[in-house]
Amino acid sequence: MALLGTSKYAQGIGLSGVNPDLASERQTASFSVEGLTTLLDGGAEHTRVRRAVVEVIERDPVFSRENQYFQTQNERYEAAVRKAVHLQKKMHEMGWREDGPEFIYIYRAVAGDVAFLLHRVFMRSISVLGSDEQVAKWIPLATKHQLIGSYAQTELGHGTYLQGLETTAVFDTTTQEFILNTPKISAMKWWPGDMGRSATHTVVFAQLYVRGKCYGVHPFIVQIRSLQDHSLCPGITAGDIGPKMNFEHIDNGYLMLQNVRIPRENMLNKFCEVQPDGTYIRRGSQKINYFTMTTVRVSLLSDEVILPLMKACTIAIRYSAVRRQSKLNPGEEEAKILDYQTQQEKLLPQLAAAYAFHFVNNYLHKLFDRGYKEIQERNFNSLPELHASSSGFKAMLSQYCTAGVEICLRACGGHGYSLLSGLPSLYTKIVASCIYEGENTILLLQTARFLVKCFAAASAGQPVPQSVTYLAAVKPGKCPAKNKLDFLNPDIYVEAYQHTAIRLLSSTAAKLQDLIQSGVKKHEAWNQCTVQLVQAAKAHCHYITVKNFVETVEKLENKAGIQKIMKHLCDLFALHGIFSNAGLFLHDGYISGAQMDMITASYLDLLGVIRKDAVPLVDAFDFTDKSLNSALGSYDGNIYQRLYEWAQKSPTNQQV
């Protein structure tokens, strides 16, 4: 590090003071930042617990992500394993329990860089799909970490279409065992996390065969590595699937099975069982499985989808308040790039979306809590709505947030492209959320299928779930707005979103009907409508998000200016959506060209309004510098010093 020795800047980079360009942004906040943080957390007690957890985790050097951007895949994997083990100790030491108030903040504070997450999925599937005996046998072992679990569902050849899985489990009556095989290369398990190098056990999904008859896909507990020396068990071939766009810390793996025998008791048999004589019995309802998959999609939204967008906004907006480039007016000093309309137009709609999605996430959680209660009372009526909601919102939010993170990255120019900005890794990670837990297009089509059914029911005057009752309210007509201020009236824009969602759905449903009546086979007709069905499903989710944002704002008291700024963000989110999807609203003349000009004017005006509070609005997300891990996004705004300091740590500079 001879470089620093000769540098007069070495002393100058004390990162104590806040950059005046950032400090000035905070002096003019129109609302209480702490108040908004508390609102986002759901109360002051939650904020206190969250900060306490974050502090404990960040104070512990084992959880440091300081060198993350310089590490190889292997170094990141080893660090993740170390963190996973240490985290167990830490939780014990701190008295944090899985059902305690701290739990939801722990993984967020560790920022995802921890191994053995699939161990919990392994445990959850046994808890849900296993009999009481199976739960009694496996859960204590797993809880005490006497094994490391994984979850082997996806195969090389099959992801979304689970019925097509090719791994086989043949029941051998003579030995009372299942014989598991990977009959061809496409049947190889591929992608399961923690399986490439770590797991000792896994839940394998395989086609069950008894006496030559196939009973479909079932889950089996299979040991894959020795509990003594961690070597692969007989008949098992497993390894790492190689480098990915991100998730270097996870050993996503492959698994091949050759005549692997497991006892009959290893088929998870709460809902179906193979009896000793080979009789296959199905019992109870499998609908609850369906619900488990559904809840996972909703539970990932907060940490994996919305939080990354909040972080990206924080980094890009703070940077844009510090970065000065070119002159807005000749003779003046160079302007903050956040003062350029084009920069505002990139970043502020993302900020509004982050808030919109935070609130719609709360709405989804309420919907699911209510649904869960009903299900416990053996009422499964809400399942289709819950499934459609979780599918549609997972798809819409992951797609929107991924695009938003990319916009933030590019809005920071060259410095955004440096890993040290933190933005590239946010992007390469969040983009996976468009694919995992259901590919987005497939999910939107599931939502669309639900909507088409509900639309038919509503049109026939039959009752439909609460979130789609609006489908019965088809009103032709035109938007009544007369000037640009009218478009700051939520009634006006909520109505426009509703109208457009209904129009897209009804016209596509009509097309589908026409095709079928003209003799096209049902499945083929469906395929020919899918591009438009996807549009309709998105429009539905967009409508619900806008409506929910409006309702959230209405319920706020205007304490410390929070309601006012939230109203601005809500307006911006809504008008940005109309501006960006203008064709959908203009199509049938519900919005006229002249009205679209009013919307554009109001939308651009709002950018200037929200720009004044942009920094306080990201400060309210309350991310620590360590959690952002960004040379551009730190609270003090000392971007250039930090970029320079961090670059020194690069291994390429250690070899000079």
The pair of three-digit structure tokens given for residue 440, joined into one six-digit string:
């987005």
Binding mask 43-62 for its own copies (x = CB under 8 A): --------------------
36 HSE (CA, 13 A, CB side): 25
Q: By C-alpha distance, which of 654, 652, 653, 628 is closest to 639?
A: 628
Task: Quote the least distance from Cβ 21 to its own copies, whole Å.
Answer: 12
Look at strands 168-172 and 201-210 and give their pairing: parallel
The C-alpha atoms of residue 654 and residue 656 are separated, in whole angstroms, by 6
Among 143, 146, 175, 237, binds its own copies (CB under 8 A): 237
State which residue, 136 or 328, has the beta carbon closest to its own copies.
Answer: 328
* CA end-to-end distance (rounded Å), the chain: 8
Count of residues interacting with its own copies (CB under 8 A): 115
The C-alpha atoms of residue 205 and residue 344 are separated, in whole angstroms, by 49
223 binds its own copies (CB under 8 A): no
Amino acid at site 273: E
Task: Quote the least distance from Cβ 490 to its own copies, whole Å.
Answer: 22
439 binds its own copies (CB under 8 A): yes
Q: Can you name the residues that pair with 232 across neighbouring β-strands?
A: 225
Task: Quote the least distance from Cβ 534 to its own copies, whole Å.
Answer: 6
The C-alpha atoms of residue 268 and residue 251 are separated, in whole angstroms, by 25
**C-alpha dist (Å) from residue 381 to 129, 287, 350, 377, 535:** 21, 11, 36, 11, 26
CB under 8 A: which stretch of 84-92, 140-148, 156-164, 307-315 binds its own copies? 156-164
CB under 8 A: which stretch of 101-109, 384-392, 528-536, 613-621 binds its own copies? 528-536
Residue with tokens 């689970």: 162
The C-alpha atoms of residue 472 and residue 460 are separated, in whole angstroms, by 9
Binding mask 391-430 for its own copies (x = CB under 8 A): ---------------x--xx--xx-xxxxx---x---x--
Residue with tokens 């980079």: 13
Task: Given the residues 437, 495, 557, 645, select the one marked as catalytic.
Answer: 437
Q: Can you name the residues that pair with 204 across neighbouring β-strands?
A: 152, 220
Q: Positive or negative CA dihedral for 79, 84, 88, 94?
A: positive
Q: By C-alpha distance, which of 365, 350, 460 is closest to 410?
A: 350
Binding mask 241-280 for its own copies (x = CB under 8 A): xxxxx-----x--x-x-x----------------------
Determine if residue 295 is labeled as part of a ligand binding site. no
**Number of neighbours of residue 474 by Cβ within 10 angstroms:** 15
Among 436, 487, 497, 623, binds its own copies (CB under 8 A): 436
652 binds its own copies (CB under 8 A): yes
CB under 8 A: which stretch of 121-129, 168-176, 188-196, 283-291 binds its own copies? 188-196
73 binds its own copies (CB under 8 A): yes
State which residue, 327 or 370, has the beta carbon closest to its own copies.
Answer: 327
Task: Quote the least distance from Cβ 179 to its own copies, whole Å.
Answer: 15
328 binds its own copies (CB under 8 A): yes
Q: Which of residues 445-504 bind its own copies (CB under 8 A)?
A: 445
6 binds its own copies (CB under 8 A): yes
For 494-522, letters b (16+ CB in 10 Å) and e give bbbbbbbbbbbbbebbeebeebeeeeeee
Determine if residue 154 is labeled as part of a ligand binding site. yes
Task: Quote the least distance from Cβ 88 to its own copies, whole Å.
Answer: 24
State which residue, 300 or 472, has the beta carbon closest to its own copies.
Answer: 300
Task: Quote the least distance from Cβ 196 to its own copies, whole Å.
Answer: 7
Q: Catalytic residue at 55?
A: no
Look at strands 201-210 and 149-152 and give their pairing: parallel
516 binds its own copies (CB under 8 A): no
Among 24, 28, 286, 341, binds its own copies (CB under 8 A): 341
**C-alpha dist (Å) from residue 10 to 96, 228, 267, 482, 611:** 42, 52, 63, 61, 35
**What DSSP letter does each residue of 101-139 carry, written as one string?**
TTHHHHHHHHTT--S-HHHHHHHHHHHHHS-HHHHHHHH
State which residue, 166 or 385, has the beta carbon closest to its own copies.
Answer: 166
Task: Quote the least distance from Cβ 143 to its own copies, whole Å.
Answer: 28
CB under 8 A: which stretch of 71-79, 135-143, 359-367, 512-520 binds its own copies? 71-79
Task: Quote the least distance from Cβ 329 to its own copies, whole Å.
Answer: 5
> Cα-flanking dihedrals φ and ψ of residue 486, to 5°?
-60, -25
State which residue, 174 or 652, has the beta carbon closest to its own copies.
Answer: 652
Q: Which residues, including other chains, have CB under 8 Å from residue 200's CB and lie 6 or more apart?
A: 147, 148, 149, 223, 224, 225, 226, 227, 230
State which residue, 49 or 546, has the beta carbon closest to its own copies.
Answer: 546
Residues that constitute the known binding site for FAD: 154, 193
Residues that constitute the known binding site: 154, 193
The residues annotated with a catalytic role in the active site are 437
